[in-house]
């Protein structure tokens, strides 16, 4: 949305009616006038024809696979910056407790999960025996668990996508061409998850919509970066659609308000101010 922090008197009219129109769009989305799916944390939410349905797409096994893959990461975060330092009494005590927990977990785990636990236990036992942090040993642990950790990640991803596909298949079973064309999907996740995020890849293929840089790729599949609640996601969708409506009418491009409207002009001014590209970091063209 094109707004400024300093609001002039004329902007009051724009902001008031923008907010009113957006709230009207929010109501229509919640009423399920057309199908909307929201992937939020461990859930997939479906709104259509005044109804709401929710399926859990991250099972207990999904969570377990992630938990197991985090064990060696925890050791790296804990000790990775303390090379050759002796273990304090508090650290030794905490490591001993952690070792006991892993020993217990190993009795019920098999396959890649057991491999990760065994390698992590061996590393911890070496640390406790030597009494000194050895970052080379932690790096060796990372190499040892690389293959089973990747297997755990694949297992978790498959668990999530199979559950997601079951929900989507059930909800879209009776879709006609009009419903498919009207479908909007929001993927709620953090910034770093955006590239090749699993649900995004699924919906890209389902909707034949390729994600790319900027809003120009977001037609029916929208990445709701850092939206943490269903309400935030729905308001983002309403904002997205309202901006497209305004941009289509006034700028002839439905995506123009989802980027800096003055982007071309700004680029021209930047080139004027900095006519030469710096050849080395920190060295511009002002000398």
Residue 2 has a pLDDT of 47
If asked whether residues 69 and 152 sit together in one domain, one would say yes
Q: Of the residues 156, 183, 216, which one is the last residue of a structural domain?
A: 156
Q: Is residue 277 one of the residues assigned to a domain?
A: no
If asked whether residues 29 and 108 sit together in one domain, one would say no
CA distance 119 to 122: 5
CA distance 242 to 250: 12
Q: Which residue has the tokens 């479908």?
A: 183
If asked whether residues 31 and 100 sit together in one domain, one would say no
Q: Give how far Cα 184 sits from Cα of 65, 207, 214, Å.
A: 30, 9, 17
The residue segments making up the domain with residue 87 are 61-156
If asked whether residues 181 and 260 sit together in one domain, one would say yes
Q: Give how far Cα 28 sits from Cα of 25, 34, 53, 187, Å.
A: 5, 8, 17, 19
Q: Is residue 5 one of the residues assigned to a domain?
A: no
Q: Of the residues 126, 156, 186, which one is the last residue of a structural domain?
A: 156
User: Is-contact 231 47, C-beta < 8 A?
Assistant: no
Q: Which residue has the tokens 């491999």?
A: 115
If asked whether residues 207 and 253 sit together in one domain, one would say yes
Q: Is residue 44 one of the residues assigned to a domain?
A: no
pLDDT band at residue 55 under the 50/70/90 scheme: very high
pTM of the predicted structure, to 2 decimals? 0.76
pLDDT digits (tens, 9 = 90+) for 64-96: 999 999 999 999 999 999 999 999 999 999 999
Q: Of the residues 156, 186, 206, which one is the last residue of a structural domain?
A: 156
| Number of domains forming the structure of the chain | 2
If asked whether residues 209 and 124 sit together in one domain, one would say no
Q: Is residue 249 one of the residues assigned to a domain?
A: yes
Q: Is residue 166 one of the residues assigned to a domain?
A: no
Q: Is residue 200 one of the residues assigned to a domain?
A: yes
If asked whether residues 181 and 252 sit together in one domain, one would say yes
Residue partners of 61: CB distance under 8 A and separation at least 6:
155, 156, 159
pLDDT band at residue 98 under the 50/70/90 scheme: very high
Q: Is residue 169 one of the residues assigned to a domain?
A: no
Residue 250 has a pLDDT of 81
If asked whether residues 67 and 145 sit together in one domain, one would say yes
If asked whether residues 79 and 144 sit together in one domain, one would say yes
Residue range 4-20: mean pLDDT, rounded: 80
Lowest mean pLDDT among 25-34, 107-116, 185-194, 240-249: 185-194
If asked whether residues 236 and 186 sit together in one domain, one would say yes
Q: Is residue 280 one of the residues assigned to a domain?
A: no
If asked whether residues 217 and 258 sit together in one domain, one would say yes
pLDDT digits (tens, 9 = 90+) for 118-168: 999 999 999 999 999 999 999 999 999 999 999 999 999 999 999 999 999
If asked whether residues 216 and 259 sit together in one domain, one would say yes
């Amino acid at each position: 949305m094109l707004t400024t922090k300093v609001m002039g008197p004329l902007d009051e009219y724009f902001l008031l009616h923008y907010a009113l129109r957006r709230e009207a769009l929010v109501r229509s989305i919640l009423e399920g006038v057309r199908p909307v799916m929201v992937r939020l944390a461990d859930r997939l939410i479906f709104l259509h024809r005044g109804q709401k349905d929710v399926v859990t797409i991250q099972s207990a096994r999904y969570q377990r696979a992630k938990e197991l893959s985090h064990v060696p990461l925890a050791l790296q975060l804990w000790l990775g910056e303390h090379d050759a330092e002796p273990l304090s009494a508090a650290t030794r005590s905490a490591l001993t407790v952690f070792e006991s927990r892993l020993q217990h977990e190993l009795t019920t785990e098999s396959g890649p999960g057991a491999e990760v636990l065994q390698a992590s236990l061996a590393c911890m036992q070496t640390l406790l025996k030597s009494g000194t942090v050895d970052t080379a040993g932690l790096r060796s642990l990372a190499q040892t668990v690389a293959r089973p950790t990747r297997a755990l990640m694949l297992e978790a991803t498959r668990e999530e996508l199979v559950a997601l596909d079951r929900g989507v298949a059930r909800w879209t079973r009776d879709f006609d061409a009009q419903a498919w064309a009207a479908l909007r999907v929001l993927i709620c996740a953090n910034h770093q998850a955006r590239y090749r995020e699993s649900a995004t890849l699924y919906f890209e293929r389902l909707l034949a919509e390729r994600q790319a840089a900027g809003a120009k790729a977001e037609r029916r599949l929208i990445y709701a970066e850092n939206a943490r609640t269903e309400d935030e996601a729905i308001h983002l969708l309403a904002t997205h659609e309202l901006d497209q409506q305004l941009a289509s009418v006034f700028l002839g491009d439905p995506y123009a308000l989802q980027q800096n409207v003055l982007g071309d002009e700004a680029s021209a001014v930047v080139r004027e101010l900095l006519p030469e590209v710096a050849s080395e970091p920190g060295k511009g063209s002002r000398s």
